[in-house]
Chain A
């Protein structure tokens, strides 16, 4: 039998495709299909009910994702049974009602599908055994109710209302999620059976308070408790069947359902009483007071719903067994009479074309049957004897009287609140009855009211019949239902229930009489209430507050962001570096002192500082500082940078690494030259200086980053660590026959890497060549003085004899490379620089005419040579690039170490020469469009180039 339990939840979802299928047959078929689904649900429930009525809870449990506590498990107990009955029963009536209510041109498919999906979600909430599963369905109801409220989407009201309802209930659902996670953590499971058994453990846990608050947030938002009540009256923009179903009978009851569901686990503490009873009492009074003031009768009913939900909440908060029974009883009664009242309201709305009670009067004459139904239902709302509302209200009064706490004068607080609420509710019920059905003739209605179709009245008749039957014979009609439901809420500790109309003449009865009399008096003097309200009430309603909060949040976020969201690269980089410094500083400062004595300096002793090194260091710092300071003066900045680079090269010499120094020096020269060439396409000065403040800020970030990096380097270098350089130094001679370790690494130990690297270098050069060839860039206008002296004669004369000399040096450096500082890479750079100087001194046309080298071809040859060396050793049966060496005695030269790696080095040499020249000459050739000359001495802001690739100041 339990196997059918999930079907109870799935049934409405299974109905969805059915509706789509019968869509072609017209709206009647669609309505029949939807109604049949609801009735099938009732039938299934009837089949499952007997064991539940006998006091058992049906539980079906299938593990789904046990790791995350999510299981497919359902539970049908008394409380679930009650709600399932309401959802399917009232649902069936609503479908019938909606068929007549919705305009004839509405095909109903979309509407009823959403309604069914909502019913499915609601069933999931009440039948889920796993709390996480319940939460899933909880939000299904939020989403579908959003769609239902926004159903008449062309009206602005319904769109705003739908958004508000979703924001409040959806947000509350997320709070509930947090609460459930905590609850599951405390109880050790998300299964209700487990949680309900561990009430004591939960109540004593230190996380009880935050968990309770979060869970209650979920419940209160859903049940429209103050201060989250404002979405409900606005949700009345929905079609009336939706209001009748969601906003009176089912969805808003999900919140109080949750209170009932978790009652055994959470109730019974001071905090529970304060929060739940307090919220309930405020909601009860405020809702009842505001209801009278509404001229729109749907608004009146909405506030009345809020008030009744407050009443139920209050009863759960009182936390005595009988009060919980009263709460459950009122859930039933309220669902029945409020649904019928909304249906009556819908009929009136359609028949009169307005919902303003100042214009709708005297409908008793026009639709006597409907009016009678409405009057009876309103009587139940007011708590008139022999109607169901009277019974639960009486129980409520009795509970407030019996409640033991407060002491002294405090004893009267709860009964007083209850009586006042009773007076108010009689007042608004009286207004509804008197204004709508009596009170003279209708005023200026858009159309003449007529009775509704026969079958539209049927749902109301059924519900009102229940109102009367329960009111007259409570124990017979609903005693059984109330008993099982209460047993579920109270976890088997339910008191014996004896429902009766007459309890004898006692205090609650006096309170009822006072409420009835006072209410009628209150309604009689209502004009005075209206005046007072208009005079003193703040012109500030919750929807307005919501909108303000909504817009305010947007504005605030925008303003906050304007400060955070800098959007320029400089600011981002500053932020990034600043944060990196901060993170580093935090890591240093927060680490415990015992990790090492002096955290920054390691155990290694410091080398003594000699004056020359100190001087060089100062020059280095000055160079870097100068480059930073004169960053806008581009030429100066580059010169300063070259100073810094030079000192670095010298530092290598100082620490006895001439090979590294030479490499560094040649790379330095080539890059500086590259930058100088690029400078021609940039204005002479950079973008305008920023303010002093910004300079200080960027300056401090720069200094901080520099100091941080220095500190890290210092920390690293003062600590002993093993490097692989020892291995290379020891093995360079015996294994590769060379003493220049750098060169040996390049051509031998890491020959494979080098082959890859020169290939990359070649690719980069070719890429630049391909990108720049044929590009047209306009160089910047220079003044006449410098233009006249473009190629100084002295330089040109000096450079021509330099070329063979420089090339000779290159060859020398190349040959000795294996043992002494030098090698193919450095030699290549030297040769390339020698050539480039020719270009610089004589101009591109002059040099191109004399240097007839095809650099692309050269590049290919170099790569080929290098690769073939590797292949050759493979052919000879060695691994790729394995080298061999020998020494050749050749007078008048020194010993020349002839290694096979020399051939490989030749390849490197060629590739380096060709790459550097390819890139530099291509850059030098660029400016084809010669700018016009301008008179000397006016170096103002220049026009920007038409299409400069290096436009870096974004």
Chain B
């Protein structure tokens, strides 16, 4: 395989990497004035990088000596990731301007993280997996502390970094154990080494456990979730909107690929672990969210709970389960993005960003549009039909029931009853409580109203219109996962 072939198979990443270097130079010379131009250029670059996704021959294309693969699964996830990143870049511009932190690095850091994510979902080897994961994480640490003059933001970045480094260490431990016992870091060879039905290999089990723990950290599944609320609360809101969407999608995709392709033979082992993580995440996320007074912390716990629901599909261990997880990720990405952007649009009279639940009181009267959109997101996140958010929940639950895990499905539904409670609380505060203070819309909003509107339409029952093609698309991606 020549370098040229590899370059053409990995075209999205190559385009992205080259483009980032160019944009970085532009930023270095033009300075922070270039923020808006760079943001649009970044989105253009993402679109450019997405072109090969539609252009590639179907089926599996390997590159770089099997370190990398382009298949329907990776193409599906990459498209989602690119979409999430592009949105995260654009919605941040007005915010950064307003708080006078308009630094040109923001879109570039998001792009770097996106490059890492693209590598992650295409990884066919523990090494390329690690490289992608670290590229994403390192950019994320910096982004968390992007508002560096504010102590909360710096603290969030530091905490994220310290704990993330621990998780990476854990992952390397796991990877080296797997390498030691399988004799290879390639997914295909690992799968050959650990065949189902053979005597369980303790070392491999250890390796798997540590790898899973590190990945659980990245998707913020209980019990490795603890960083999430603090980082969500401290990091700038557009950054959180980014954290909550694209990286979650990429990390879940990575988890799917790793478990199905490399550890398919050890399904019985990882199924149990995923099961426990799923139940714990759903329950803890739902219960803990009740007590929150900050909207961002609430959404953090909501993220934890939602990952728990998505893990139900993974725990099912069937093709239907994978399909359900993919749909879950897609819908979750849109709903969460919408919720955060809606939050981003609210500022009080002093220009302070509104982040507390109490600040939202009576929003329905002062800002009916945003309040209605937020209400749709809340209902949809709660998975209450007929909102579109119900569909992915239904998909994971039915996958679990089909796989014989009906207690898990019932537990999941009970957890969503608890979850419904705190989402409804937000709706109640917005629609029922008397207005708390002045809510002004800052003058410049950029694309934010459009993003919120589109996301709300998608999360509302209108989303069902897209269900057919989305499901077909997801099914194709799920089939690609061996």
Query: Bound complex: CA of A580 vs CA of B212, how far in Å?
Result: 11
Query: Which single residue of chain A is at the shortest CB-CB distance from B401?
Result: A185
Cβ of B379 < 8 Å from any Cβ of A?
yes
Query: Which single residue of chain B is at the shortest CB-CB distance from A562?
Result: B291
Query: Bound complex: CA of A927 vs CA of B183, how far in Å?
Result: 52
Within 8 A of A (CB), among B302-327: 320, 323-324
Q: Which of A137, A214, A569 has the most CB of B within 10 A?
A: A569
A557 touches B290 (CB 8 A): yes
Given known contacts A68-B395, A561-B288, A136 and B385 CB-to-CB distance under 8 angstroms: yes
Name the A residues within 8 Å of B421 (CB-CB): 167, 171, 550, 553
Identify A716's interface contact among B163, B176, B406, B424, CB under 8 A: B176
Identify B398's interface contact among A69, A153, A721, CB under 8 A: A69
* CB of B7, distance to nearest CB on chain A (Å): 16
Interface string of B14-52 (1 = CB under 8 A from A): 000000000000000000000000000000000000000
A64 touches B468 (CB 8 A): yes
Cβ of B330 < 8 Å from any Cβ of A?
no
Query: Bound complex: CA of A30 vs CA of B72, how far in Å?
Result: 51
B166 touches A573 (CB 8 A): yes
Interface string of A158-179 (1 = CB under 8 A from B): 0110110011001101110110
Cβ of B384 < 8 Å from any Cβ of A?
yes
Identify A184's interface contact among B383, B398, B413, CB under 8 A: B398
Q: Which of B287, B291, B416 has the most CB of A within 10 A?
A: B291
Query: Bound complex: CA of A575 vs CA of B223, how far in Å?
Result: 9
Cβ of B394 < 8 Å from any Cβ of A?
yes
Interface string of A552-579 (1 = CB under 8 A from B): 0110011011001111010011011101
Given known contacts A67-B320, A214-B410, A181 and B397 CB-to-CB distance under 8 angstroms: yes
Number of interface residues of A (CB under 8 A): 76
Q: Of B99-107, B194-202, B437-445, which binds chain A?
A: B194-202
A595 touches B200 (CB 8 A): yes
Interface string of B257-274 (1 = CB under 8 A from A): 000000000000000000
Query: Bound complex: CA of A64 vs CA of B465, how far in Å?
Result: 11
B402 touches A954 (CB 8 A): no
* CB of B166, distance to nearest CB on chain A (Å): 6
Query: Bound complex: CA of A595 vs CA of B432, how far in Å?
Result: 61
Cβ of B390 < 8 Å from any Cβ of A?
yes
B410 touches A137 (CB 8 A): no
Given known contacts A184-B398, A207-B406, A553-B290, A163 and B205 CB-to-CB distance under 8 angstroms: no
Name the B residues within 8 Å of A715 (CB-CB): 203, 206
Query: Which single residue of chain A is at the shortest CB-CB distance from B179?
Result: A721
Query: Bound complex: CA of A572 vs CA of B471, how far in Å?
Result: 39
Within 8 A of B (CB), among A124-162: 132, 135-140, 142-143, 150, 153, 159-160, 162
Query: Bound complex: CA of A709 vs CA of B166, how far in Å?
Result: 13
A716 touches B210 (CB 8 A): no
Given known contacts A557-B291, A595-B202, A70 and B394 CB-to-CB distance under 8 angstroms: yes
Query: Bound complex: CA of A210 vs CA of B410, how far in Å?
Result: 9
Query: Bound complex: CA of A587 vs CA of B248, how far in Å?
Result: 26
Cβ of A591 < 8 Å from any Cβ of B?
yes
Query: Bound complex: CA of A140 vs CA of B387, how far in Å?
Result: 9
Cβ of B227 < 8 Å from any Cβ of A?
yes
A573 touches B401 (CB 8 A): no
Cβ of A599 < 8 Å from any Cβ of B?
yes
B291 touches A584 (CB 8 A): no
Query: Which single residue of chain A is at the shortest CB-CB distance from B419?
Result: A174
Cβ of A4 < 8 Å from any Cβ of B?
no
A712 touches B420 (CB 8 A): no
Cβ of A722 < 8 Å from any Cβ of B?
yes
B409 touches A178 (CB 8 A): yes
A175 touches B417 (CB 8 A): yes
Identify B420's interface contact among A70, A174, A569, A721, CB under 8 A: A174
Name the B residues within 8 Å of A166 (CB-CB): 424
* CB of B49, distance to nearest CB on chain A (Å): 22
Identify A163's interface contact among B226, B288, B414, B428, CB under 8 A: B428
Within 8 A of B (CB), among A90-141: 121, 132, 135-140
Query: Bound complex: CA of A557 vs CA of B468, how far in Å?
Result: 40
Cβ of B386 < 8 Å from any Cβ of A?
yes
Cβ of B349 < 8 Å from any Cβ of A?
no
Cβ of B83 < 8 Å from any Cβ of A?
no
A722 touches B384 (CB 8 A): no
Cβ of B224 < 8 Å from any Cβ of A?
yes
Identify A954's interface contact among B155, B284, B384, B424, CB under 8 A: B155
Name the B residues within 8 Å of A712 (CB-CB): 173, 177, 206
Cβ of A606 < 8 Å from any Cβ of B?
no
Cβ of A588 < 8 Å from any Cβ of B?
yes
A65 touches B288 (CB 8 A): no
Task: Give the size range of B's interface with the partner.
Answer: 35 or more
Given known contacts A572-B227, A592-B200, A136 and B390 CB-to-CB distance under 8 angstroms: yes
A182 touches B291 (CB 8 A): no
Cβ of A952 < 8 Å from any Cβ of B?
yes
Cβ of B347 < 8 Å from any Cβ of A?
no
Cβ of A583 < 8 Å from any Cβ of B?
yes
Q: Which of A175, A567, A580 has the most CB of B within 10 A?
A: A580
Cβ of A719 < 8 Å from any Cβ of B?
yes
Query: Which single residue of chain B is at the shortest CB-CB distance from A162?
Result: B432
* CB of B472, distance to nearest CB on chain A (Å): 9
Cβ of A594 < 8 Å from any Cβ of B?
yes
Query: Which single residue of chain B is at the shortest CB-CB distance from A594?
Result: B199
A184 touches B291 (CB 8 A): no
B287 touches A560 (CB 8 A): yes
Name the B residues within 8 Å of A170 (CB-CB): 384, 420, 424
Query: Which single residue of chain B is at the shortest CB-CB distance from A947?
Result: B149
B210 touches A954 (CB 8 A): no
Interface string of A821-858 (1 = CB under 8 A from B): 00000000000000000000000000000000000000
A573 touches B162 (CB 8 A): yes
Cβ of B431 < 8 Å from any Cβ of A?
yes
A178 touches B290 (CB 8 A): no
* CB of B431, distance to nearest CB on chain A (Å): 7
B397 touches A591 (CB 8 A): no
Name the B residues within 8 Å of A566 (CB-CB): 226
Q: Which of A174, A554, A567 has the most CB of B within 10 A?
A: A174
Within 8 A of B (CB), among A856-882: none
Q: Which of A68, A178, A181, A583 has the most CB of B within 10 A?
A: A68
A138 touches B291 (CB 8 A): no
Cβ of A596 < 8 Å from any Cβ of B?
yes
A65 touches B398 (CB 8 A): no
Given known contacts A143-B384, A185-B402, A719-B203, A177 and B180 CB-to-CB distance under 8 angstroms: no
B287 touches A557 (CB 8 A): yes
Cβ of B467 < 8 Å from any Cβ of A?
yes
Name the A residues within 8 Å of B227 (CB-CB): 572
Identify A596's interface contact among B176, B202, B217, B394, CB under 8 A: B202
Query: Bound complex: CA of A944 vs CA of B401, how far in Å?
Result: 59
Identify B180's interface contact among A140, A184, A185, A719, CB under 8 A: A719
Q: Which 7 A-B pairs give the minimum distances between C-beta atoms? A: A558-B291, A178-B413, A557-B291, A159-B432, A557-B290, A139-B385, A136-B385
Q: 16 new A-B pairs (CB below 8 Å) besides A173-B385, A560-B291, A591-B205? A: A143-B384, A163-B428, A174-B420, A177-B397, A182-B406, A182-B409, A184-B398, A554-B290, A564-B284, A569-B158, A575-B223, A583-B209, A587-B206, A596-B202, A712-B177, A721-B183
27 A-B residue pairings within 8 Å (CB atoms) = A64-B467, A64-B468, A67-B323, A69-B398, A132-B394, A139-B384, A139-B386, A159-B431, A163-B424, A163-B432, A166-B424, A167-B420, A170-B384, A174-B384, A177-B385, A185-B401, A185-B402, A561-B291, A565-B288, A569-B159, A573-B162, A576-B226, A577-B166, A595-B201, A716-B177, A716-B203, A719-B181
A residues within 8 Å of B by Cβ? 64-65, 67-70, 121, 132, 135-140, 142-143, 150, 153, 159-160, 162-163, 166-167, 170-171, 173-175, 177-178, 181-182, 184-185, 207, 210, 214, 550, 553-554, 557-558, 560-561, 564-567, 569, 572-573, 575-577, 579-580, 583-584, 587-588, 591-592, 594-596, 599, 709, 712, 715-716, 719, 721-722, 952, 954
